[in-house]
Amino acid sequence: MGWDRPSPAPISPSDRPGPPAWPVRWPTAAPTAAGRGVPGVPGAPRPPRGPGRAAWVVALLGAAVLLAATGAVALRTLGGADPDGTVPAAAAAAAGDPRATGVNAALALMARGLRAHDEATFLSAVGPRDAALRTRQRAFYRGLAALPLKDVQVSWDGERLRAPARPAGYPAGTVVVIAELRYLIDGWDDEPVDDALVLTMAPSGSHWLVVGDGEAAGDSNRRYLEPWSTGSALVVERRPHVLAVGDAAHRSDVRRLADRLEDVTADVRARWSEPSWNGRVVAYAATDPRFVQAWFDAQAATGPPRDRPAAQPTWEARVGNLARSAAEADAATGPPRLVVTPYVLGRSDARVVSTLRHEVTHVATARVGRPVPGWLAEGAAEYTGFRLGGSRVDALRTFTQHGLTGQAAEQLRRGTWTPQLRTDRESFYRGSADEVAAGYLDGWLASLYIADRYGDAVLRRFYDVASAQPAEASSDVVEVAALRAVLGTDHAGFVAAVRVYGTSLYRRATGTS
């Protein structure tokens, strides 16, 4: 995700940042906004552990989507009664309900067509008279058929259904069912994914057909929209470690995204080799407004930085874990997906590489253990995204190239800056663009401090110790345990050390004392 950022302008030792209204400087070498996806954004779907990068406004000292997200995006499950009136139907739940048999026979045709790459068989389950519906379902089929799918199943449990919103437009007996599409992208996913598939089904003689697919809008059972659910023609770009799915109309942009992700994935594998990660990335880059809305709510970055420090943060990308089954609640733990906004997809500058490296770090750590404190999740990803140097980080160069928020630059200039290391994952992503930007920045400087003073291996160990703490432990308790075990300090001592470190780096970068 990312907060909106102003254009970069390098700062020389004699070029001091003045009191910024809305953070001031970015390096001229890469005049772009970067962003990260984040879980828990108010008003937006909450990624299970999917962080990302926000488009933040910064005062740069040099040359700078997600979530649960790491992150990420929470996926809706199908259990229980919902406020929209979707409730278990006693009649359908009864053993031998003829609707369940007929509906599942139609869904089985769709699954068979997907497994056999047989479009005609897939469409034989769709009503023949609605040309628009068949066009959308054909696009749905072709989007999925372009993927190396394995173990595709489409089924309905006979329990989740409701009457259509406009029953007069359908044959008698029509119902809206929430079916399950289960699939595995062979070679990319290490376990199947379950996605809710909301279809309008009607009896037709002795069998059932799909007669509508427009009842999913606003449905609390609908999980995050997959690219093939938009009806747009898709393109799939494969690289050795990357599979990128986007709109055919933006083929060149999707190709460029896949190339860049392949490069940064190699970087991240070298620093975050995780047993829980297969070293591969599946990325979504669809531009359909419904897709963007489903993943980012109204907070997707759509253009260059704007002078609005008190506004909500906007997100450029995010990482979220998909659900492994309908029984999973908000904390989905299935295969991760990296989702970029159209704004990021369309960017061709080198600056976006750091954003993507940040996001792939979230992919790598998406299932390493329990969620780590917010500042560490985003700080470690930001550190990886912007790290410069060889076997040891070049801290001064990294600091100079990354940049600061205007508020932090002013505080560092005055010697009053103190990092606010927020541990709670929910509150970390709440607040104005300024407040969220400060959280990212403070976490990044804390991570840079650990890596610079102790080495990358110690930062990695710090993350691993935090993620290995008991699931029931609070974020504060997790932080305390990691600080004590790895750095031999406590929260107050750590904050004080980071404060001194950040102030010293600023003075070295600007030539002040």
- Confidence grade of residue 308 (pLDDT, cut at 50, 70, 90): low
| Residues 211, 113 contacting (CB under 8 angstroms) | no
Task: Say if residue 229 is exposed, middle or buried (CB neighbours under 10 Å; 0-12, 13-18, 19+).
Answer: buried
Query: Nearest Cα to 140, choosing from 2, 41, 288?
Result: 288
pLDDT at 304 (0 to 100): 58
Q: How far is CA 366 from CA 46, 80, 322, 443, in A?
A: 15, 27, 11, 18
Distance between start and end Cα atoms, the chain: 35
pLDDT at 66 (0 to 100): 27
- Helix residue ranges, H only, 26-163: 90-93, 98-116, 119-123, 131-145
Segment 402-446, tens digit of pLDDT: 989 889 999 999 999 999 999 998 899 988 888 999 999 999 999
How remote is the C-alpha of 193 from its chain's centroid? 16
DSSP 3-state of 162: strand
Residue in this structure with the two tokens 């709670």, named with its chain if needed? 424
Residue 336 has pLDDT above 70, yes or no: yes
Query: Nearest Cα to 141, choosing from 117, 170, 160, 164?
Result: 117
Residue in this structure with the two tokens 């997906």, named with its chain if needed? 337
Q: How many CB atoms lie within 10 A of CB 423?
A: 21
pLDDT at 40 (0 to 100): 28
| Residues 439, 447 contacting (CB under 8 angstroms) | no
| Residues 303, 37 contacting (CB under 8 angstroms) | no
Q: Are strands 281-285 and 242-247 parallel, antiparallel or unpaired?
A: parallel
Q: Where are the domains of the chain?
A: 87-222
Q: How many CB atoms lie within 10 A of CB 353?
A: 18
Segment 338-352, tens digit of pLDDT: 999 999 999 988 779
Query: Nearest Cα to 187, choosing from 243, 141, 226?
Result: 243
SS3 helix, strand, coil % of the chain, rounded to 5?
40, 15, 45
| Residues 51, 38 contacting (CB under 8 angstroms) | yes
Q: How many CB atoms lie within 10 A of CB 151?
A: 12
Task: Average the pLDDT over 464-487 and give the result.
Answer: 97
Domain 87-222 has CATH 1.10.3470: no
- Confidence grade of residue 318 (pLDDT, cut at 50, 70, 90): very high
Residue type (1 letter), 82: D
| Residues 368, 341 contacting (CB under 8 angstroms) | no
Segment 67-112, tens digit of pLDDT: 233 333 222 222 333 333 333 334 444 445 679 999 999 999 999 9
**Phi and psi (nearest 5°) for 11?**
-115, 125
- Confidence grade of residue 13 (pLDDT, cut at 50, 70, 90): very low
| Residues 11, 60 contacting (CB under 8 angstroms) | yes
Calpha distance 292→285 (Å, rounded): 9
| Residues 196, 221 contacting (CB under 8 angstroms) | yes
| Residues 2, 301 contacting (CB under 8 angstroms) | yes
Task: Say if residue 510 is exposed, middle or buried (CB neighbours under 10 Å; 0-12, 13-18, 19+).
Answer: buried
pLDDT at 129 (0 to 100): 93
Query: Nearest Cα to 362, choosing from 44, 47, 49?
Result: 49
pLDDT at 321 (0 to 100): 87
- Confidence grade of residue 55 (pLDDT, cut at 50, 70, 90): low
| Residues 381, 362 contacting (CB under 8 angstroms) | yes
Top-confidence residue, 512 or 110 = 110
Q: Report DSSP state, residue 371.
A: P
Token code pair at residue 318: 């995010």
Top-confidence residue, 142 or 71 = 142
Calpha distance 95→81 (Å, rounded): 20
Token code pair at residue 355: 């954003």
Residue 376 has pLDDT above 90, yes or no: yes
| Residues 120, 145 contacting (CB under 8 angstroms) | no
Task: Average the pLDDT over 42-57 and give the result.
Answer: 43
Task: Say if residue 205 is exposed, middle or buried (CB neighbours under 10 Å; 0-12, 13-18, 19+).
Answer: exposed
| Residues 22, 6 contacting (CB under 8 angstroms) | yes
pLDDT at 131 (0 to 100): 96
DSSP secondary structure string, 199-260?
Answer: EEEEEETTEEEEEE--TTTT-TT--SPPGGGS---EEEEEETTEEEEEEGGGHHHHHHHHHH
Residue 508 has pLDDT above 90, yes or no: yes
- The proportion of the chain whose per-residue pLDDT surpasses 90, expressed as a percent, equals 61
- Confidence grade of residue 186 (pLDDT, cut at 50, 70, 90): very high
DSSP 3-state of 389: strand
